[in-house]
């Protein structure tokens, strides 16, 4: 295993982040939001937006707090090297867009379908609550997902295994969360989209490795999602 001076989270913090994501955010949060929404409006058919925003902000604060050592170190790294990191962010955004474009075409050819279920849900939300969709896609998702899968999983693995294995495992988990709901519902067609999301995860992990800053991978993730959201709204 090649040596690294990368700041990493302890196994306890990494496991806490993963448990919080898969149990708290994925399983419990939708149920809690449903109860709170129905308490406010028994006739509601969608989540209450103000309650959802407050919940998402609380989640962001919590995961950043758990990964505080990573964020503090990354801020220092970015302040000292921002002139080098900004061009890196733009280069990685370009690489992500190209990888996304190529993999999307290949997956579409294989599945003979349009977007993944994850993208369809985002498109539906964009019609019902455009402002919240922008917030959740451009701010919430990049911060939370980068904190957990790059700041947590990748750095924890990186302190124990090689860069290649840490990148592959963390990127696979990142890809899996984007098709998990489809698999639970029995839609196994979306398995092919695992390659698409894992590919994006590989680029993000590479950016973290080269910069040693979660701000870089988060910036790339945000820019990628901004472009995706812009493309989505142009087609609505």
Question: What total of structural domains would you count in the chain?
Answer: 1
Q: Look at residue 6 and tell me if it is in a domain.
A: no
DSSP 188: G
pTM metric for this prediction: 0.94
The runs of H, that is alpha helices, within the chain are: 11-19, 29-40, 49-66, 68-111, 117-128, 130-134, 141-146, 155-158, 163-177, 180-184, 193-211, 214-235
Tokens found for residue 230: 């812009």
Q: In the prediction, which pLDDT does 155 show?
A: 95
For the stretch 101-140, pLDDT in tens is 888 888 777 777 667 788 888 989 999 999 999 999 999 9
**For residue 216, pLDDT beyond 80:** yes
Q: Look at residue 2 and tell me if it is in a domain.
A: no
Q: Look at residue 99 and tell me if it is in a domain.
A: yes
Backbone angles phi, psi at 185, to 5 degrees: -85, 0
H or E segment and range at residue 114:
none
Distance CA 159, CA 68 (A): 17
Q: In the prediction, which pLDDT does 17 show?
A: 96
Average pLDDT on 149-176 reads 96
**For residue 3, pLDDT beyond 60:** no
For the stretch 46-82, pLDDT in tens is 899 999 999 999 999 999 999 999 999 999 999 999 9
Q: Look at residue 76 and tell me if it is in a domain.
A: yes
Question: Where do we find the tokens 């963390």?
Answer: 170
Q: Look at residue 158 and tell me if it is in a domain.
A: yes
Q: Look at residue 53 and tell me if it is in a domain.
A: yes
pLDDT interval class at 25 (50, 70, 90): very high
Q: In the prediction, which pLDDT does 40 show?
A: 93
Q: In the prediction, which pLDDT does 2 show?
A: 59
Tokens found for residue 66: 């758990």
Q: In the prediction, which pLDDT does 206 show?
A: 96
Query: Given its phi and psi angles, is residue 41 left (phi above 0), alpha (psi -120 to 50 degrees) or beta?
Result: beta
pLDDT interval class at 219 (50, 70, 90): very high
Q: Which domain holds residue 121?
A: 11-235
Average pLDDT on 154-176 reads 95
Question: Could you give the angle at which helices 214-235 and 68-111 cross, rounded to 10 degrees?
Answer: 40
Distance CA 178, CA 215 (A): 22
pLDDT interval class at 4 (50, 70, 90): low
Question: Could you give the angle at which helices 117-128 and 214-235 cross, rounded to 10 degrees?
Answer: 70
pLDDT interval class at 23 (50, 70, 90): very high
Three-class secondary structure of residue 147 per DSSP: helix
Q: In the prediction, which pLDDT does 113 show?
A: 66
Q: Look at residue 106 and tell me if it is in a domain.
A: yes
Q: Look at residue 187 and tell me if it is in a domain.
A: yes
């Amino acid at each position: 295993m090649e040596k690294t001076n990368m700041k990493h989270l302890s196994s306890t913090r990494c496991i806490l982040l993963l448990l919080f994501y898969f149990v708290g955010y994925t399983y419990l949060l939708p149920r809690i939001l449903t109860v709170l929404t129905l308490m406010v409006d028994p006739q509601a058919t969608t989540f209450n937006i103000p309650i959802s925003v407050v919940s998402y902000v609380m989640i962001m604060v919590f995961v950043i707090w758990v990964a505080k050592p990573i964020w503090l170190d990354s801020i220092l790294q970015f302040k000292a090297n921002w002139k080098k990191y900004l061009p890196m962010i733009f280069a990685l955004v370009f690489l992500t867009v190209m990888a996304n474009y190529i993999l999307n075409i290949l997956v579409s050819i294989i599945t003979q379908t349009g977007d993944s279920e994850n993208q369809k849900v985002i498109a539906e939300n964009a019609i019902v609550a455009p402002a919240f969709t922008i917030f959740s896609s451009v701010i919430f998702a990049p911060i939370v997902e980068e904190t957990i899968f790059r700041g947590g999983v990748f750095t924890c693995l990186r302190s124990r295994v090689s860069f290649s294995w840490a990148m592959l495992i963390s990127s696979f988990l990142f890809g899996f969360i984007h098709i998990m709901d489809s698999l639970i519902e029995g839609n196994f067609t979306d398995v092919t989209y695992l390659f698409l999301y894992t590919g994006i995860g590989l680029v993000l992990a590479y950016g973290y490795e080269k910069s040693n800053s979660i701000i870089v991978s988060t910036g790339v993730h945000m820019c990628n999602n901004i472009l995706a959201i812009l493309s989505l709204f142009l087609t609505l």
